[in-house]
C-alpha cells in the first residue's frame, strides 16, 4: 500500500469515526458517553497515524530531493572542471 493510499484511508476513517461519535452522542443524549469517548479516542489515534504517515512520506521525499541535489551538484562540478580544462 502506498503512502498516499494509507493517508487517504486514515483520513477517511478518522472523519467517519468523528461523525459516528457525534451521531452516537446525539442519539443517546449523554447515556452513551463512554462509547463516544472510545470512538473519539480511536479517531484521534487514526489522525495521529495519518500525521505519522504524512511525516514519513515527507522524510522520504526530502531524502530523494537531497540525493537529486547531490547528483546535480556533482554534475555541475564535473562540467565546471571540463570547462576549465577546455579553456586551458
pLDDT-based confidence at residue 62 (cuts at 50, 70, 90): very high
**pTM score, whole prediction:** 0.57
More confident residue, 15 or 65: 65
| Cα(82)–Cα(76) distance, integer angstroms | 10
Is 52 in contact with 45 (CB distance < 8 Å)?
Answer: no
pLDDT-based confidence at residue 66 (cuts at 50, 70, 90): very high
Grid coordinates representing 83? 570547462
CB atoms within 10 A of CB 38: 14
Is 78 in contact with 63 (CB distance < 8 Å)?
Answer: no
Q: What Cα–Cα distance (Å) separates residue 9 from each residue in 50, 53, 54, 65, 80?
A: 9, 11, 12, 26, 48
pLDDT over 80 at 69, yes or no: yes
Q: Which helix (H) or strand (E) element contains residue 31?
A: none
Amino acid at each position: 500500500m502506498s503512502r498516499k493510499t494509507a493517508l487517504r484511508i486514515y483520513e477517511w476513517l478518522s472523519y467517519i469515526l468523528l461523525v459516528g461519535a457525534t451521531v452516537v452522542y446525539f442519539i443517546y443524549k449523554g447515556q452513551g458517553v463512554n462509547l463516544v469517548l472510545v470512538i473519539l479516542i480511536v479517531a484521534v489515534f487514526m489522525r495521529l497515524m495519518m500525521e505519522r504517515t504524512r511525516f514519513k512520506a515527507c522524510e522520504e521525499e526530502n531524502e530523494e530531493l537531497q540525493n537529486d541535489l547531490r547528483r546535480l551538484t556533482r554534475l555541475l562540478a564535473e562540467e565546471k572542471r571540463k570547462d576549465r580544462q577546455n579553456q586551458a
